[in-house]
């Protein structure tokens, strides 16, 4: 079965960004200059929707769908979408127009340089066991924001799982140099005897 992205390229399976929302679609990265996500959020993305408790204007899926058709790369809505998919154990969610992966296809088409979208998409792919694609998306996110400590740390974790300890240590050092707070990756590398950081960094927790 072809991936949703391939299907989208061949058949417009994931919809035309120019026609698919009565409000927008707008680029969430440009939200301070054009459009106003507050209008959509006020009616379709309150805390109950974001936390997957209940819909606001109707059904939960319907409100997420409307938000993501108006603002395809709305980071918090995409994060909620991934959590909803995990909770429901499905990529075809009730009252949503597209399969989950289509919303990421649309978000990337809206702004291919939005690193946060790539990171969220990576988390979705990783949970689906699509590790190679997850790695590619996180690597793309890191290339777009090379000083993002969270991306560097998560990429280091992926390299560690691949047993590429040199790369894992390299990205860990970069993340900790940017004051990333969680010691998990460093501890894994120390236990494996593969930590390349200085003894002072190891002992101080940095």
Give φ, ψ of 154 to 5 degrees: -65, -35
Angle at 54 between CA 51 and CA 60, to 5 degrees: 95
Average pLDDT along the chain: 88
pLDDT at 34: 59
Side-chain-side CA neighbours of residue 19 (13 Å): 4
Q: What is the pLDDT of residue 198?
A: 60
Arithmetic mean of pLDDT, 95-110: 96
Contact 100, 137 (CB under 8 A): no
Q: Which residue has the higher pLDDT, 201 or 197?
A: 197
The 8-class DSSP code of residue 147 comes to T
Output the pLDDT for position 24: 80
Checking if the pLDDT of 30 tops 80, the result is: yes
pTM of the model: 0.86
Tokens linked to 160: 């560690």
Cβ atoms within 10 Å of 18's Cβ, excluding its own: 7
Confidence of residue 116 (pLDDT cuts 50, 70, 90): very high
105 φ, ψ (degrees, to nearest 5): -55, -45
The answer to whether 186 and 180 are in contact (CB under 8 A) is: no
> Does 140 have pLDDT greater than 70?
yes
Q: Tell me what pLDDT residue 203 has.
A: 47
Q: How many CB atoms lie within 10 A of CB 70?
A: 24
Q: pLDDT at position 199, please?
A: 54
Per-residue pLDDT reduced to its tens digit, 34-93? 556 677 888 899 999 999 999 888 899 999 999 999 999 999 999 999 999 999 999 999
Q: What gap in Å lies between CA 35 and CA 115, rounded to an integer?
A: 21
Q: What is the pLDDT of residue 4?
A: 53
């Amino acid at each position: 079965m072809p991936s949703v992205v391939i299907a989208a390229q061949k058949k417009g399976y994931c919809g035309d960004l120019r026609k698919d929302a009565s409000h927008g679609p707008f680029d969430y990265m440009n939200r301070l200059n054009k459009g106003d996500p507050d209008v959509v959020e006020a009616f379709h993305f309150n805390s109950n929707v974001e936390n997957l408790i209940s819909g606001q204007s109707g059904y939960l899926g319907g409100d997420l769908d409307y938000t993501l058709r108006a603002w395809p790369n709305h980071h918090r809505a995409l994060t909620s979408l991934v959590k909803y998919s995990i909770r429901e154990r499905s990529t075809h969610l009730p009252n949503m127009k597209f399969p989950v992966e289509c919303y990421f296809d649309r978000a990337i088409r809206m702004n291919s340089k939005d690193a946060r979208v790539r990171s969220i998409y990576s988390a979705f792919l990783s949970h689906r066991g699509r590790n190679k694609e997850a790695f590619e998306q996180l690597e793309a996110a890191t290339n777009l924001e090379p000083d993002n400590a969270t991306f560097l740390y998560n990429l280091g974790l992926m390299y560690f799982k691949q047993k590429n300890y040199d790369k894992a240590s390299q990205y860990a050092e970069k993340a900790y140099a940017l004051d990333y707070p969680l010691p998990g990756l460093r501890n894994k590398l120390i236990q494996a005897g593969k930590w390349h950081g200085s003894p002072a960094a190891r002992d101080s927790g940095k």
